[in-house]
């Protein structure tokens, strides 16, 4: 397996990771990324296969579970109940309970609300150059997921702040200060959710939290800790990736001079410059894939950004083609951990972009966009635009 060096915080890589992915794919389906100390699946075929192989999973083998430093325990105590980090049977039970509340009918019913929200935000756009992320790409998903859960909309700024602090724990630039901020955000988030869930227990409403409280699977309900973690996960995941997708997608559409938004162009936005570039799996048994041997306890990183630009899967893969046909992109993961919020994300992206270009046909970039140092996420620091 070819060993490659590439700092994930290197400024050139942060701005454009795709040349590194191209060089990695030239060495086969797997490479060894020295900076992470793990094997990486880099082809579309192999990423697709690893994501669906039940001999691997998200949950760390118990004999390898690290000792959590006391100062980080509040953060990891929440993560311990996240279905994103669990395998069956706990994952099966948690996901089934969430899906009972997160139905396709519930998602589809949000369309008028999303449209109205987008129009209201656009009505408030300033006449001078402004940051589309803070004025549009950030508020759309955080307000939508807040309304869906039933969380007070006037707490959206707090939710965004807490979520950003927690998600920073997964970035390559992690520092002691980022850890301290994440723990503080976790404690504030948990306290808020605990009090709000208690309120909903007494006075149920037509929202996702009330539905999750009432949901049962084989006679079991979510525990208090599971309920809190699930709400935090849905809030964090429900906006973080969508913010980046809206930002990256708007940048791409403006640069490519594409304005038509439909299901096909939305999928191409999600494929071309995705918000999440790495998703890891633990190996649960000794195995061989594509001539490479792995042992229990190894980790494999699926490089989603590399898979989505694989020329073996997509013709002219580095070209943005809004009418593209091809295999399913890997941006939402795969297997039992396929993103539970994918239908909501697609709906938000389609209508947020559609309403934006319908209302702002002369929208253009006011300065060259710059990506933030947030790997293994991939998103803009800001997106300065002007309406004319």
What's the pLDDT score for residue 104?
Answer: 85
Phi then psi for residue 8, to 5 deg, are -75, -5
Return the structure tokens found at 333: 């993961």
* 254 contacts: CB under 8 Å, gap ≥ 6: 363, 364, 365, 385
What's the pLDDT score for residue 100?
Answer: 79
What's the pLDDT score for residue 215?
Answer: 80
What's the pLDDT score for residue 272?
Answer: 98
How close are the terminal C-alpha atoms of the chain, in Å? 51
- Characterize the bridge pairing of strands 299-303 and 38-41: parallel
Q: Enumerate domains of the chain plus CATH numbers.
A: 3-386 (1.10.630.10)
Per-residue pLDDT of the chain (388 residues; tens, 9 = 90+): 999 999 999 999 999 999 999 999 999 999 999 999 999 999 999 999 999 999 999 999 999 999 999 999 999 999 999 999 999 999 999 998 888 777 888 889 999 999 999 999 999 999 999 999 999 999 999 999 998 889 888 888 899 899 999 999 999 999 999 999 999 999 999 999 999 999 999 999 988 899 888 886 667 788 899 999 999 998 888 778 999 999 999 999 999 999 999 999 999 999 999 999 999 999 999 999 999 999 999 999 999 999 999 999 999 999 999 999 999 999 999 999 999 999 999 999 999 999 999 999 999 999 999 999 999 999 999 999 999 8
Which runs of consecutive H residues, i.e. helices, occur in the chain?
Answer: 11-15, 18-25, 44-52, 73-79, 90-101, 104-108, 111-123, 132, 139-149, 156-167, 176-202, 208-214, 224-256, 263-272, 304-307, 342-359
* 337 contacts: CB under 8 Å, gap ≥ 6: 51, 58, 84, 91
What's the pLDDT score for residue 217?
Answer: 62
Q: How far apart are CA 64 and CA 89, in angstroms?
A: 20
């Amino acid at each position: 397996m070819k060993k490659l060096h590439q700092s994930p915080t290197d400024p050139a890589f942060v701005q454009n990771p795709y040349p590194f992915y191209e060089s990695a794919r030239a060495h086969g389906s797997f490479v060894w990324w020295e900076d992470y100390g793990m094997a990486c699946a880099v082809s579309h075929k192999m990423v697709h296969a690893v994501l669906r192989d039940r001999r691997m999973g998200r949950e760390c083998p118990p004999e390898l579970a690290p000792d959590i430093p006391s100062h980080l325990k509040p953060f990891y105590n929440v993560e311990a109940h996240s279905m994103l980090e669990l395998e069956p049977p706990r994952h099966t039970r948690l996901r089934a309970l969430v899906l009972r509340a997160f139905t396709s009918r519930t998602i589809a019913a949000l369309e008028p609300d999303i449209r109205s929200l987008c129009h209201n935000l656009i009505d408030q756009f300033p006449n001078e150059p402004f940051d589309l992320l803070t004025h549009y790409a950030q508020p759309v998903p955080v307000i939508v997921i807040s309304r869906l859960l039933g969380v007070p909309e006037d707490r959206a700024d707090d939710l965004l702040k807490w979520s950003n602090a927690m998600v920073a724990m997964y970035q390559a630039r992690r520092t002691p200060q980022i850890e301290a901020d994440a723990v503080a955000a976790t404690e504030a988030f948990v306290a808020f959710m605990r009090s709000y869930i208690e309120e909903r227990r007494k006075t149920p409403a037509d929202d996702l939290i009330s539905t999750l409280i009432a949901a049962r699977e084989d006679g079991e309900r979510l525990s208090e800790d599971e309920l809190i973690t699930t709400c935090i996960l849905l809030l964090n995941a429900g906006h973080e990736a969508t913010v980046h997708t809206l930002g990256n997608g708007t940048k791409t559409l403006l640069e490519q001079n594409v304005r038509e938004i439909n299901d096909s162009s939305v999928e191409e936005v999600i494929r071309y410059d995705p918000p999440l570039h790495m998703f890891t799996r633990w190996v649960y048994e000794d195995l061989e894939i594509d001539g490479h041997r792995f042992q229990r306890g190894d980790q494999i990183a699926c490089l989603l950004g590399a898979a989505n630009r694989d020329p073996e899967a997509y013709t002219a893969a580095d070209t943005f083609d809004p009418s593209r046909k091809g295999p399913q992109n890997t941006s939402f993961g795969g297997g039992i951990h396929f993103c539970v919020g994918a239908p909501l994300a697609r709906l938000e992206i389609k209508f947020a972009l559609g309403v934006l270009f319908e209302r702002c046909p002369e929208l253009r970039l006011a300065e060259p966009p710059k990506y933030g140092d947030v790997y293994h996420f991939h998103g803009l620091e800001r997106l300065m635009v002007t309406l004319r």
